[in-house]
Each structure stands twice: as structure tokens, then as C-alpha cells.
Amino acid sequence: MNVCVIGGGSWGSAFALHMGRKNIPTRLWIREEDVYQFALKYRENRIFLPGSIFPTSVSFHHDLETAVLDAGIVFVAVPSEFCREMYARLQPYVSRNTLLVSLTKGIEQESLQTMSQIMEEMLLPSYPLRNAAISGPSFAREVAESHPTAVVVASKDRKSATEIQHLISHTYFRAYTSADLIGVELAGALKNVIAISAGISDGLEFGSNSLAALITRGIAEITRLGVQLGASRETFAGLAGIGDLVLTCTGKLSRNRYVGYELGKGKPLDDIVSSMPMVAEGIGTTLSARRLARREKVEMPILEQVYQILYRGRDPRSALQDLMSRKLKSEFVSAKEVS
């Protein structure tokens, strides 16, 4: 089976590299002209994934139709803000037999939809859609370096999830399946907001106690909102939930943690973003998640403080300290109570 990976960033490149190592014919669509030309010449993404050489089973494409046509499975790894446009561009080239898989962790700001929900809106009118999402603790660099990694494949269609599971699993890359597509996607998106708060804590040198508290109370917030939106509670205790949250809050390769860390050190957000070659999804997701939480009347104090820091210029130290001075209560509360 031919597969296509849409997106020549670090994660799309690492995933295409992984598929190529399995000797699966893989087409990698690259938007950026310079990245594409480097890949053709050196078989390496020198901008987003330097040092990793693609096997010959991976081909590089700048034309979308050539990349997608006749591909049995299309993996989409572009930033969430560009996904709707990408699905619209894909529509003429996919068929009812194509399996579309999101590798993107985000929530669209205008519609507050997950990536699979946008897929369904854009493509279901044309044909019955088979779609899925892959999430979990998986830094691109470590996948490219063949470090043992475990992810979860979520789909409403069990057959599709199992098909992808067997296709992508390898000696260093293990995939589990889940029927909770909304939960897996929400967990993958919302953990980026908590990772920003964890980075802020580290930047302020608050220590391990603070970090552990943020991670634990962060997963409580994420779970409450997810359950309110129809997700399964157990999803947030798995790879897509606590697994990805721990990685993103503690790993030095985390873009969202980096944003928070620099904020904690006093650097302006605009300067941080302009210095980064890749997107930190948590910045935009903070807006989307706050709107979702307010719509669903689910209080999320950590999310609210991250929003205040990012978009209202609040001092990070006072914001995090305010989390400690809220009304005292039981640890386990319902979806519409304060964490």
C-alpha cells in the first residue's frame, strides 16, 4: 500500500521516515520550497529534522495531487490553523476508500472543532469518511532516532483503527487502539496548554513540587472538560492523556514547555514566537480551550491563568501563586466545579 504524509515539519518528516523504515512506499508532501529542494538533494530535512536521512522508500513531493493520488492512507501533519484549508485541497484527490489520519494536536479557534470533526464537515458530504487520529507521547526527534515509543490510534471504526495499528507498529514503535476519537484528540490538544504552565513554573525555578502539582491538577482540568464534551474518562489516564502530558511538561524537546519557560524568564511572547521555526500549538489552543470551557461552564483555573499570561500580559509569578490561594476544597470534584 502507498501512503502519503502531508506536512514537511518535524513530526510529518519523522513519521514519513518511520514509515519508510518499514519499507512502505511513502510520499512526503512538503509545502516549503527550500525544505523540498533540500530533501530532493540530500534526502534530509535540514531545517526541521536535521541529521536524519530518509530511506529510498520515501519520495518527496511539492505537488499535492501527485502526492495524494491513489494513496490508500493519508496522514495529515500540518498545524491546526491550516487543517481546514488542507482538507478542502485534499477533497478532489481522495476517494471513499481513502483512510484519512490526523497527526495534528489542536482545536480550531473559530469552530472549536477537533481535526477529525473538521474532516467530517469538509468531506462527509462527498462520501462516507473513514478517519482516525494518532496521539500520545511522541517527540519527532526521538521517533526519528528510533527510541521506543508508544502511541494510540483512535477511530470510531474499529477496523480502521486496527488497520492503522498494524501498519505503523514496529520494533521501537508500538500502537494501541481506542474508540474514543474525541477524547484522544482533546487530550492531545489540551495538554499543550498545561505544558506552557509547566514551562513557566520551571522558568520561575519553582521546583519539582510545583511541577508535579501542575501536571496532576492539569490532567484533572483536561479530564473534566473532555468528559463534559462526551469523552471517556479512562482516555485521560492513558497514553493520549497523562502519558503525553508528562512528556510535554517535562521534556526538553517540548515547544510548548519552551514557550512557558521563556515567559517565566521574563521574555516577551512575541520575541519567543518569532525565534521559533516551528509552531507551539498550545498558544492558539489556549484561546480555543478557554472558549470551550466557558461554553460548557467547566472551570479550568490553570488554563485561565495561562490565558491571562499569554493574552493579558499578566505577571507569571503572581498568576501561578494565585492558583495556590483559591478557595480550599476536596481533591475530586464534578465537571462544573473549580479544580
**Confidence at 97, pLDDT banded by 50, 70, 90:** confident
Segment 27-63, tens digit of pLDDT: 999 999 999 999 999 999 999 999 999 999 999 999 9
124: pLDDT strictly greater than 80? no
Res 123: pLDDT: 85
Say if residue 56 is exposed, middle or buried (CB neighbours under 10 Å; 0-12, 13-18, 19+). Answer: exposed
Backbone φ/ψ region at 324: left (φ over 0), alpha (ψ -120 to 50), beta: alpha
Domains of the chain, each with CATH number or no CATH: 3-179 (3.40.50.720), 189-324 (1.10.1040.10)
230: pLDDT strictly greater than 50? yes
Quote the pTM value: 0.95
Segment 232-267, tens digit of pLDDT: 999 999 999 999 999 999 999 999 999 999 999 999
174: pLDDT strictly greater than 70? yes
Single-letter code of the amino acid located at 25: P
On average, the pLDDT of the chain sits at 95
270: pLDDT strictly greater than 90? yes
**Confidence at 130, pLDDT banded by 50, 70, 90:** confident
Three-point CA angle 179, 183, 188, nearest 5°? 120
Res 175: pLDDT: 98
From 191, 327, 329, 336, the catalytic residue: 191
Res 339: pLDDT: 47
Give the residue-averaged pLDDT of 123-152.
91
Residue 191 bears catalytic tag: yes
Cα separation of 32 and 303, whole Å?
Answer: 33
